[in-house]
Amino acid sequence: MNERFDPAQADTRWQAAWDEAQCFKADDSSAKPRSYVLEMFPYPSGRIHIGHVRNYTMGDVLARYKRMKGFEVLHPMGWDAFGMPAENAAMEKGVHPGGWTRENITNMKAQLKRLGFALDWSRELATCEPEYYGQEQSLFLDLYEAGLVYRKESAVNWDPVDQTVLANEQVIDGRGWRSGALVEKRKLSQWFLKITDFAEELLEGLSTLDKWPEKVRTMQENWIGKSQGLQFAFTLSNGETLEVYSTRPDTIFGASFVAVAADHPIAQGVAAGSQEVQDFIALCKQGGTTAAELETAEKLGFDTGITAKHPFTGADLPVYIANFVLMDYGTGAVMAVPGHDQRDFEFATKYDLPILRVVAANAEDADKPFAGEAEAGDGICVNSDFLNGMSVAEAKAAIIARAESGGWGEGKTVWRLRDWGVSRQRYWGTPIPFIHCEVCGVVPVPKKQLPVTLPEDVDFATPGNPLARHATWKHVDCPQCGKPARRETDTLDTFVDSSWYFLRFASQPDDKPFDPAQIREWLPVEQYIGGIEHAILHLLYARFWTRALARIGKIEVKEPFGSLFTQGMVTHEVYSREEDGRPVYFGPSEIERTADGATLKEDGQPVTVGKVIKMSKSKKNVVDPDEIVATYGADAIRWFMLSDSPPERDLPWSEAGIEGCARFVQRLWRLFGQHDAAAEGEDKAVDRKAHQTVAAVAEDVESLGFNKAVARIYELTGVIEKAAPSASRSAAIRTLLLLVSPMMPHLAEEAYATFGEGLVANAAWPEVDPALLVEDEVTIAVQVKGKLRDTLTVAKGTAREELEALALASEKVQRALDGAEVRKVIVVPDRLVNLVA
C-alpha cells in the first residue's frame, strides 16, 4: 500500500466502479426488506452548497448502512427544476430557462457524483421534463374529476416584482417569500386545490407521525388552526343582522360591545356617507404587519352609532369598527368580552366601555375586580343567568345547544387553513391542462392529448407571463365542440411538483404517473431528511397530495414520510473591515486565521472576526464544496459533515476542522495498512472494544446521532493503534474499516481492495457477539458522603458485601472518613459504593 491515501485518484476510480457494478440501483422485485431513504431534492441553481452536502451525507450514511444491514434500499435523486430563477436568468442573461436549467443539472450532478453518494441515478428525474410534468397534469385532471380542483375569482396576493400570485404561505410579513416585495391585493380568476377538505384529516394525521419532530407537528397544527365556537347573528338598530363568531360563547353575558373589521360590509356602509369613517378605515389599513409593529400597535376603534341587541339581556351594545378585527377570519366581526379577552380589555379600557366579570375561580369571586388585564383562563360562570355555576366547557356546550334549539346560532368549526391557490402567471412551470371555450366553458384537456408541453420560442424581454403573450401557443380548438378556443396560460405552483416526486421515484412507468403495486412496496419513505424551512409549505402540501391520491384510489398510503429529520445549517465566521463607514466582507479563502484573530492574505493586516452565522453570499462567509473536495477529497468533507455537532443543530465550518478530518483519513489509511491476515493471538480487550463499537455505532446511525458515532470510531481507532499485533487486532482493523465505510466510502474501498473480498459497498455490517459487549472488569466509584474519594477495579458482579469491605479498606476512604462512624452504605453493584457518615 502507498504511504498516503490519494483521494484525487481514488475518489473517481471508486465512483466509476460503483457505477459499473450498479451497486446502488434499487431492485423493484427484490425479496429483501425495503428501505426508502430520501433527502429533499434540490433546486438546480447551478452549484451545490455546503448545506446540500450535509443533508445528502446524512442520508447517504443511512442508505449505505441500511444496505449493509441487508435492506433493499431506494435512495434516489432528482431536480426541483421549475421556478422563478430560471426565468430571472432568462431575463438577465438572455438564456432559455430550459437550457439554463439543464446545464445547471449537469453541473450539479457532476458535483454530487464527486462526493460519492450511493444514489440510484437510473431513477433521476427533473420536474421540468414533459415525462414528469405530463404525468402531473394527468393527476391534476384526476383530482379535478374528483371535485378537488376548482376555479374561483379571488383576491390574490400579487407580487409586483416577480409579477406573480403567491399562496398565503408564501407571504411572510406582507412580503413575497422570494422577492421580499410588498404584496398587493388583486382580483383574478384562479385555480385552487381543496386542501381544506382535508383539514381534519391532516390535523388528525399529525398524531400518527410520532417520528416527526414535535416542532414541525406543532407548526402544522397551528397552520391548520382548528377552532370551535358559536356563530350567531345580532339584530342591529338599523334593521340589519350581523354574524359574529366566538370561541368563548360561554362569556356571552360579558359582552359589552361588538367590533367589525375595517373592510366589513357594515363598516363600508357607514363609510359611504362619512369622510371621517373613510379616514379611519384608511388609518387601519396603514398599520404595519410585522411582529414588532403588531405588538406595539394601539387598539383603535370608531363608534358607528349602530347598536346590536344582546340575545339574552336585550341590552344595546355599541358597534365599533376596530383595527384589531380581521376580515378574513371567522365572520370579520366579534362579540367583545373585555373581561376575558386581552384585546377587548385594552379596547374597552381605551374607550371606557364596561368590563364585566362572567368567569371566576369560584362563586364567591363573582364581583372580584380585574387586575389590569383580562382573565382568559378556566373557571366557573358567574353573572351569567342560566350558565351560573357551570365550567367553561359545560357553558360552551349549553350555550351552543340553546342557540341551535332557538334557531339563532350554531356551533361551528373554523379553520385557519385556506384552499391552496396553485395558479402562477409564469412560463417556467407545469401548464395547467385546461382549455377555455366560449361555448363549452372550462374544458379539461383530454388525457390522450397530454402532455401539454411548453413552447420553446418565448421572449422574456417584458415582465408578465410569456405564455399569455405567445403568438400561437394558446390558440387551440375546443376538444368538445371543435370551435376555436384558448389554452389556460397559468402554470402550476412549483410546490405541486414537489408534492408527489417521492412517488415517481418509487415507480416511473411511461404511460402513467406510477404503478400502485410499486408504491405499496416502497412507501412510506422510511427516513426523510431536509431543512426546517419546509416545515409547513412543502411538507403539508405533500401530505395533502398523498391523501388526495389515496382518497381517489390511486394509492393506499396516507402519510408519505414515516420519519422526518430536519438538519441544522452550516455556519461560518464572518470576516470584515470597516471602509468608509460600511463593512467590506472577505471570504475564508482570502483569510489567514491565527490563534487570536485573522489577517487578510493580500496585505497581512488584521480583519475583524465576526459572529458565526449561516453561510450567505452577501457576507461572503461561504465555502465551495468543490474546492474542498479538490483539496481534501470527498471523504474528508463527508467526515466533517458528520463530526462534532449534533445533526439537528448548526454546524460551524472551520478550516482547522476540515484539516483535522483530512488528517484522520490518512491516520485510518495507515492503520488499515497494518491489517495482517496472518497475525495470530487473541486480545480480549481489543475484541471487546471492537464489538462494543459496532453495536454502538449501529445504534447511533439508526438514530442519526452521527456525531456520537464519529466519537466512538475515534475511540476504537485509538485503542487499535495502541494494541500489539494479534489476530484480534487485525479483525478489529477490518471491523473499523466496515464501520467507517458508509461515511468514508472511497478510503474504505481503497483499503478493502487489498483484502481481496470485492467491493466494500456490497459488504455486510459486522455481526456483534453479545458476549463481548459485557465487560468482565468494572471500575467502581467509592464515595464518602456523595463525594468521590477513590475508585476500585473489580470483577463484574462482585457481591455487595465484598464491595463494601473493599471500599472501607481503602486508605483514601479512611482518610476522608477521618474516624467518623459510617451510618449507612449505599451499594449499586458494578457502579458505586457510597459511605454515609
Restricting to residues 187-216, which ones interact with RNA according to CB under 7 A? 214-215
Which residues, 6 or more positions from 288, have their beta carbon under 8 angstroms from its beta carbon? 174, 294, 297
Three-state helix/strand/coil letters over 686-737: HHHHHHHHHHHHHHHHHCCCHHHHHHHHHHHHHHHHHCCCCHHHHHHHHHHH
Q: How many residues bind RNA (CB under 7 A)?
A: 89
Tell me how far apart the alpha carbons of residues 3 and 738 are, in angstroms, rounded to a whole number: 21
Per CB under 7 A, which region of 137-145, 330-338, 385-393, 540-548 contacts RNA? 330-338
Give the footprint of RNA on residues 404-433 (CB under 7 A): 414, 416
Give the footprint of RNA on residues 632-651 (CB under 7 A): 643-646, 649-651
Q: How far is the CB of 810 from RNA (least distance, A)?
A: 11
**CA distances, 15 to each of 23, 61, 661, 745 (Å):** 10, 16, 21, 9
Of 403 and 435, CB closest to RNA: 403
Helix H or strand E encompassing 364:
none
Per CB under 7 A, which region of 10-18, 21-29, 103-111, 821-829 contacts RNA? 821-829
Of 85 and 225, CB closest to RNA: 225
Q: How far is the CB of 359 from RNA (least distance, A)?
A: 14
Per CB under 7 A, which region of 30-38, 388-396, 512-520, 659-667 contacts RNA? 659-667
Q: State which of residues 368, 475, 684, 815 lies at the interface with RNA (CB under 7 A).
A: 815
Q: How far is the CB of 492 from RNA (least distance, A)?
A: 23
Q: State which of residues 20, 92, 153, 295 lies at the interface with RNA (CB under 7 A).
A: 295
Is position 718 an interface residue for RNA (rule: CB under 7 A)?
Answer: yes
Q: How far is the CB of 557 from RNA (least distance, A)?
A: 27
Which residues, 6 or more positions from 587, have their beta carbon under 8 angstroms from its beta carbon? 575, 620, 621, 622
> In this structure, are residues 358 and 340 in contact, taking their beta carbons and an 8 Å threshold?
yes
Per CB under 7 A, which region of 100-108, 121-129, 268-276, 776-784 contacts RNA? 776-784
Of 505 and 669, CB closest to RNA: 669
Give the footprint of RNA on residues 228-287 (CB under 7 A): 229, 245-248, 261, 287
Q: Which of 240, 404, 250 is nearest to 260 (CA)?
A: 240
> In this structure, are residues 504 and 125 in contact, taking their beta carbons and an 8 Å threshold?
yes
Count CA within 13 A, CB hemisphere, residue 41.
29
Q: In this structure, is the dihedral angle defined by the CA atoms of residues 541, 543, 549 and 555, taken in order, positive or negative?
A: positive
Per CB under 7 A, which region of 19-27, 288-296, 554-562, 739-747 contacts RNA? 288-296
Of 151 and 667, CB closest to RNA: 667
- x/- map, 667-706, RNA, by CB under 7 A: x-------------------------------------x-
Is position 327 an interface residue for RNA (rule: CB under 7 A)?
Answer: yes
Of 800 and 831, CB closest to RNA: 831
Give the footprint of RNA on residues 722-741 (CB under 7 A): 722
Tell me how far apart the alpha carbons of residues 607 and 586 are, in angstroms, rounded to a whole number: 9
Of 103 and 373, CB closest to RNA: 373
Of 219 and 679, CB closest to RNA: 219
Give the footprint of RNA on residues 542-601 (CB under 7 A): 595
Tell me how far apart the alpha carbons of residues 694 and 220 are, in angstroms, rounded to a whole number: 38
Which residues, 6 or more positions from 809, have their beta carbon under 8 angstroms from its beta carbon? none
Q: Which of 548, 550, 551, 500 is nearest to 525 (CA)?
A: 500
Is position 664 an interface residue for RNA (rule: CB under 7 A)?
Answer: yes
Per CB under 7 A, which region of 13-21, 82-90, 333-341, 627-635 contacts RNA? 333-341
Give the footprint of RNA on residues 783-802 (CB under 7 A): 783, 785-789, 791
Cis peptide before 451 (omega within 30 of 0): yes
Residue 707 grid coordinates = 456525531
Per CB under 7 A, which region of 387-395, 478-486, 619-627, 811-819 contacts RNA? 811-819
Residue 761 grid coordinates = 459497498
Of 21 and 826, CB closest to RNA: 826
Give the footprint of RNA on residues 154-173 (CB under 7 A): 172
Angle between helices 7-21 and 634-642 (to 10 degrees): 90
Give the footprint of RNA on residues 14-53 (CB under 7 A): none
240: DSSP letter = -
Q: How far is the CB of 388 from RNA (least distance, A)?
A: 21
Is position 652 an interface residue for RNA (rule: CB under 7 A)?
Answer: yes
Per CB under 7 A, which region of 104-112, 399-407, 663-671, 673-681 contacts RNA? 663-671
Of the chain, the end-to-end C-alpha distance in Å amounts to 62
Of 311 and 705, CB closest to RNA: 705
Compute CA 327 distance to the chain's CA centroid, rounded to the nearest angstrom: 30
Beta pairing partners, 651: 570
Per CB under 7 A, which region of 338-346, 404-412, 464-472, 538-546 contacts RNA? 338-346
Q: Which of 266, 232, 566 is nearest to 402 (CA)?
A: 232
Per CB under 7 A, which region of 24-32, 142-150, 178-186, 337-345 contacts RNA? 337-345
Tell me how far apart the alpha carbons of residues 175 and 307 are, in angstroms, rounded to a whole number: 37
Which residues, 6 or more positions from 155, have their beta carbon under 8 angstroms from its beta carbon? 185, 186, 187
Residue 556 grid coordinates = 393506499
Q: How far is the CB of 60 from RNA (least distance, A)?
A: 21
Residue 408 grid coordinates = 339563532
Tell me how far apart the alpha carbons of residues 578 and 604 are, in angstroms, rounded to a whole number: 16
> In this structure, are residues 184 and 176 in contact, taking their beta carbons and an 8 Å threshold?
no
